């Protein structure tokens, strides 16, 4: 497994991975796959300040992860939402853990204080959603900070959502300076 920063050549595969999750699961409540240009533009915007990573297996991109500011504005530089998607056939092989470890390592160097994850959950596993994402985040030190009942409707079923948070840096007054990804000099790990 090889983890690296994403580039333009990866965006098509990343879009295909996302498309699977939108069309075939309730992980995302939307049923609309963003057009490729919108997806590409979003990633290019994120890449100006935050890491966008891919995992390769034998030269094939099989997963991606990134973080982005939770809300617009510099006040939120230190509070990010993480996103991770692993190709279905590679789920459970430790790829998500490797990606998250690298993502968190970089975010710590950027002086980010907390990582947040928005996760669909269900009372009973079904063909479209299980609670593996929640369990994954719990194993990585995230704690549930919000619960939204009947938050999304997809595949003729109501699903709930949660926010989970992990503090990765101590807060300080004044806040440490946020360091955009392109200003980090040492990313060895």
Tens-place pLDDT, residues 105-154 = 999 999 999 999 999 999 998 999 999 999 999 999 999 999 999 999 99
- Whether the per-residue pLDDT at 174 is higher than 80: the answer is yes
Token reading at 49: 């300040």
Tens-place pLDDT, residues 31-50 = 999 999 999 999 999 999 99
CATH number at residue 11: 3.40.630.30
- Whether the per-residue pLDDT at 54 is higher than 80: the answer is yes
Establish if 16 belongs to a structural domain: yes
Q: Which long-range contacts (CB under 8 A, 24 or more apart) does 129-133 make?
A: 129/25, 129/26, 129/27, 129/159, 132/91, 133/27
Establish if 88 belongs to a structural domain: yes
Q: In what order do the strands lie in the sheet with 114-121?
A: 2-5, 52-57, 60-69, 79-86, 114-121, 157-167, 143-154
Domain span holding position 175: 2-183
Euclidean distance between CA atoms 144 and 86, whole angstroms: 22
Total domains, the chain: 1
Establish if 61 belongs to a structural domain: yes
Tens-place pLDDT, residues 157-169 = 999 999 999 999 9
Establish if 189 belongs to a structural domain: no
Classify residue 37 as exposed, middle or buried by CB count within 10 Å of its CB (0-12, 13-18, 19+). exposed
Instruction: Give the closest residue to 145 by CA, choosing from 70, 84, 74, 77.
Output: 70
Establish if 188 belongs to a structural domain: no
Predicted TM-score of the model (pTM): 0.93
């Amino acid at each position: 497994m090889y983890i690296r920063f994403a580039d333009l050549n990866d965006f098509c595969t990343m879009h295909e991975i996302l498309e699977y999750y939108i069309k075939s699961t309730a992980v995302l409540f939307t049923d609309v796959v963003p057009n490729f240009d919108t997806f590409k533009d979003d990633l290019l915007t994120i890449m100006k300040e935050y890491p966008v990573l891919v995992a390769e297996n034998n030269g094939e991109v099989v997963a991606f992860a990134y973080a982005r500011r939770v809300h617009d504005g510099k006040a939120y530089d230190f509070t990010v939402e993480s996103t991770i998607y692993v190709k279905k056939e590679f789920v459970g092989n430790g790829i998500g853990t490797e990606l998250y470890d690298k993502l968190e390592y970089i975010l710590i160097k950027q002086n980010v204080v907390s990582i947040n994850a928005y996760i669909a959950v269900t009372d009973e596993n079904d063909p479209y959603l299980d609670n593996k994402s929640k369990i994954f985040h719990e194993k990585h030190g995230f704690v549930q900070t919000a619960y939204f009942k009947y938050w999304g409707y997809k595949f003729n079923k109501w699903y709930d959502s949660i926010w989970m948070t992990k503090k990765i840096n101590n807060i300080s007054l004044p806040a440490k300076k946020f360091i955009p990804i392109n200003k980090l000099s040492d990313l060895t790990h």
